[in-house]
Amino acid sequence: MGSMIIDGKTVEFNGETNILQVIRKAGIDLPTFCYHSELSVYGACRMCIVEVDGRGINASCHTPPEEGMTIKTNTMELRKIRRNALELLLANHNRECTTCERNSTCKLQDLAQRFGVRDVRFGERDVKAPIDTSSPALVRDPNKCILCGDCVRMCKEVQGIGVLDFANRGSKMVVTPAFNKSIGDVDCVNCGQCAAVCPTGALVVKSHVDKAWEAIYDQKTTVVVQVAPAVRVAIGEEFGITGGRSTIGQIATALRQIGADKVFDTSFAADLTVLEESREFIERFSEKKNIPQFTSCCPAWVKFVEQYYPDYMDHLSSCRSPQQMFGSIVKRYYARETGIAREDMFVISVMPCTAKKFEAERDEFKIDNNPDVDLVLTTQELARMIKEAGIDFAELEPTSMDMPFGFATGAGIIFGVTGGVSEAVLRQAHEVISKKELTNVVFKEVRGQAGVRAVETQIDGITVRLAIVHGLANAGRLLEQMKAGEVSYDLVEVMACPGGCVGGAGQPISFSASEIRSERGKGLYREDQLQQLHKAQQNPMLNDFYQKWLQSPGSAEAHEALHTHYGSRRRIDGEAISVNEFDSAPIEIQVCVGTSCYLKGSVNLLKLLTKKIKDEGYEEQVKLRAAFCCQQCAGGPMVIIDDKVIGKVSGDRINEIVQLIKDKLRVSAS
């Protein structure tokens, strides 16, 4: 606690970790590129510089507050430095703003306008780097990168993956995947959180708007649109409506005006997921088999398990995500009922999530190469289509969703916020286990914004232990604790994006992310309160659907249509890269630098091994290569010597590797 003088005014501080936070608390919008309260402090952009009396110019983001400080935030010198910094960034930045995906939501554009930068005195970059479109979910344009490092820290610190990092030095420095691979060829889980924090257009959501229009204009195609619950509390932000306010009625109206034939609610499929997943959980829990059960609604989380923790594959719920359940029932049953051929029905999902684009392309969700979900649009993309169509969204009269898949309970709606899946399952499991009607449907203990929340609840005298996790780095730490026997749970809900789906990378861009996520989450809980029915098992349309097509939750027909399976996934595809020039050497050593091994120090191991081999005089006898996956990630870092695989190799085992080289050379010589 203390106070300081900021621009002549006394401002108190209490718990703020840097003076930037104190300055903003005082109502001064100090500009930043690389500062995010949820990430580590980087201090690279220097936009947040201030003048501290007696200390000169300092970056406010990493200067702690002290009693009695006197600070100026707006002087002639500070303004000049900021303008120069902006000019230098613009000189190295592709300035085709009118055609950029982030036009009007770009921080660089905004600050250049704010500080009156009209002319850039420096030349433009000489050579343009190729644009990376290899990902199903994202587009990476290195020409627009300003090296703020936001994407690097998000991927490492919040998601625990680390597919992006800085490479090279000086004017050649870039942000890139390992060995300049395409982002589609590395361990990216398509969560898109890198794009959510990118202040420019260097990382953006891959647009499928043109494909959506093409399907809508095709007179032979019946376009069916499903809308995820988190979209309703976010899309309004694109049209001046307060975040957290539900606009599901306006969304339905807008989609019909755009040309959709039917508009349904993914919350119906979320109700369906509750019944199937609850049954699966109760069966596992009673048999103590493959417990804990992990939720499988989040495709980025599923890919994370496939890549890093394949030993836990059997713990994933076999339920498809609500998106994929919806696509399946529409193309299997609704198409049959309406007399429309499967190939003539085009299912579009409107999702808050970029990983859903990847999920829709998975082979598990295709029949004769025809996908259950044909196209995924993010909230951002739907907003763009509404604007293209000239629709005044804020003034639209709300209309209802179409039946039968437009009716949902509050349980399905709260799927969009962290803890919502657990709460919806508890509302069902309580009644099934206790055989009593549940009157209080609110489970406040599973709600909240903490990254990991452990909860114990009693169901008819039986203790059920739950963990609710959001952010994949948190999920990874929890899995490691489980492997070590430090914690134990019965049900674990995981969502890749901070805050759950409300914080998905496909939602409208916001630079006050934690606050807006909170408002969106509150909006979903308000929607739940306003519903007449709060439990998935109460959904009359769902019960009718089971009677007509699926018999009961967990039936053979339900399992065929609503469940799936997953498998271990390679981390990085592609050839190994030679580290030295002795490709004809008699011994080949490969060090895995796939993400799992990389995070465990394999790159440093490769450096130490290279030096040791050279120092011992074996450099010309060893072909040293960086490999991209040994498919034994739990045991990394991995080293392969010819056909011998060695796991958990640390720096203190270098001598062991060298001894193996000596032994092989001795055998070869004899």
Residue 340 C-alpha from the chain's centroid? 35
- How far apart, in whole angstroms, are the C-alpha atoms of residue 174 and residue 112? 22
Instruction: Say if residue 502 is exposed, middle or buried (CB neighbours under 10 Å; 0-12, 13-18, 19+).
Output: buried
Run of H or E including 4: strand 2-6
For range 631-639, the mean pLDDT: 75
Q: At a CB cut-off of 8 Å and minimum separation 6, what does 625 contact?
A: 576, 577, 578, 579, 588, 589, 590, 591
Annotated active-site residue in 106, 151, 297, 597: 297
Q: Is residue 283 a part of any domain in this protein?
A: yes
Residue that is last in its domain, among 183, 205, 227: 205
- How far apart, in whole angstroms, are the C-alpha atoms of residue 460 and residue 439? 14
pLDDT tens-digit series, residues 13-55 = 998 999 999 999 999 999 998 888 888 988 888 899 999 999 9
Q: Do residues 42 and 171 both lie within one domain?
A: no
Contact 572, 186 (CB under 8 A): yes
Q: At a CB cut-off of 8 Å and minimum separation 6, what does 472 contact?
A: 158, 159, 160, 161, 189, 191, 300, 301, 304, 494, 496
pLDDT of residue 234: 96
Instruction: Answer yes or no: 277 catalytic.
Output: yes
pLDDT interval class at 603 (50, 70, 90): confident
Look at residue 660 and tell me whether its pLDDT is greater than 90.
Answer: no
Q: Do residues 238 and 302 both lie within one domain?
A: yes
pLDDT of residue 575: 56
Neighbours of 659 (CB within 10 A): 10
CATH of the domain at 612: 3.40.30.10
Instruction: Answer yes or no: 364 catalytic.
Output: yes
Q: Is residue 194 a part of any domain in this protein?
A: yes
Top pLDDT among 139 and 595 is at 139
Print the SS3 string covering 177-205. CHHHCCHHHCCCCCCCHHHHHCCCCCEEE
pLDDT of residue 637: 86
Contact 263, 401 (CB under 8 A): yes
Q: Do residues 296 and 377 both lie within one domain?
A: yes
Q: Is residue 487 a part of any domain in this protein?
A: yes
pLDDT tens-digit series, residues 94-125 = 888 899 999 989 999 999 999 999 888 888 87
pLDDT of residue 638: 85
pLDDT of residue 42: 87
| E-assigned strand segments in 19-173 | 49-52, 56-59, 70-72, 138-140, 165-167
pLDDT interval class at 470 (50, 70, 90): very high
Q: Is residue 572 a part of any domain in this protein?
A: no
CATH of the domain at 262: 3.40.950.10
Annotated active-site residue in 238, 276, 306, 359: 359
For range 565-578, the mean pLDDT: 65
Residue that is last in its domain, among 190, 205, 220: 205
Query: Hey, which residues does 265 pair with through a beta bridge?
Result: 227
pLDDT of residue 29: 92
Contact 305, 292 (CB under 8 A): no
Instruction: Answer yes or no: 388 catalytic.
Output: no
Annotated active-site residue in 278, 317, 349, 510: 317
Six-digit token pair at 510?
Answer: 């916001």
pLDDT of residue 600: 82
Annotated active-site residue in 237, 276, 277, 423: 277
Instruction: Say if residue 182 is exposed, middle or buried (CB neighbours under 10 Å; 0-12, 13-18, 19+).
Output: middle
Top pLDDT among 665 and 454 is at 454
For range 622-645, the mean pLDDT: 78
Contact 456, 440 (CB under 8 A): no
Q: Is residue 426 a part of any domain in this protein?
A: yes
Q: Is residue 80 a part of any domain in this protein?
A: no
Q: How far apart are the first and last CA of the chain?
A: 75
Task: Provide the domain limits for residue 98.
Answer: 85-205
CATH of the domain at 63: 3.10.20.740
What Cα–Cα distance (Å) separates residue 189 from each residue in 70, 137, 656?
Answer: 46, 9, 35
pLDDT of residue 21: 93
pLDDT of residue 632: 67
Instruction: Answer yes or no: 519 catalytic.
Output: no
Q: Do residues 240 and 327 both lie within one domain?
A: yes
- What values do phi and psi take at 184, rounded to 5? -75, -10
Q: Is residue 408 a part of any domain in this protein?
A: no
pLDDT of residue 606: 86
Q: At a CB cut-off of 8 Å and minimum separation 6, what does 556 contact?
A: none
Instruction: Say if residue 461 is exposed, middle or buried (CB neighbours under 10 Å; 0-12, 13-18, 19+).
Output: exposed
CATH of the domain at 112: 3.30.70.20
Residue that is last in its domain, among 177, 205, 233: 205
pLDDT tens-digit series, residues 345-404 = 999 999 999 999 999 999 999 999 999 999 999 999 999 999 999 999 999 999 999 999
Annotated active-site residue in 181, 331, 356, 357: 356
pLDDT tens-digit series, residues 544-569 = 999 999 999 999 999 999 999 888 77
pLDDT interval class at 647 (50, 70, 90): confident
Q: Do residues 238 and 133 both lie within one domain?
A: no
Residue with tokens 């969304």: 251
- Residue 152's SS3 state is helix
What Cα–Cα distance (Å) separates residue 104 from each residue in 200, 285, 602?
Answer: 10, 51, 41
Run of H or E including 376: strand 375-378
Instruction: Answer yes or no: 45 catalytic.
Output: no
Contact 269, 322 (CB under 8 A): yes
Q: Do residues 493 and 440 both lie within one domain?
A: yes
Average pLDDT of the residues of the chain: 91
Into how many domains does the chain fold?
4
Q: Do residues 436 and 545 both lie within one domain?
A: yes
pLDDT interval class at 418 (50, 70, 90): very high
Annotated active-site residue in 106, 198, 319, 501: 501
Q: Do residues 118 and 158 both lie within one domain?
A: yes
Instruction: Answer yes or no: 359 catalytic.
Output: yes
Q: Do residues 517 and 597 both lie within one domain?
A: no
Q: Do residues 279 and 308 both lie within one domain?
A: yes
Q: Do residues 197 and 213 both lie within one domain?
A: no
Percentage, residues of the chain above pLDDT 70? 97
pLDDT tens-digit series, residues 168-184 = 998 889 999 988 899 99
Annotated active-site residue in 77, 124, 364, 581: 364
Q: Do residues 583 and 556 both lie within one domain?
A: no
Instruction: Answer yes or no: 297 catalytic.
Output: yes
323: nearest Cα among 275, 281, 285, 358:
358
- Residue 580's SS3 state is coil
231: nearest Cα among 365, 136, 322, 345:
322
Annotated active-site residue in 237, 280, 381, 527: 280
Q: Is residue 262 a part of any domain in this protein?
A: yes
Instruction: Answer yes or no: 280 catalytic.
Output: yes
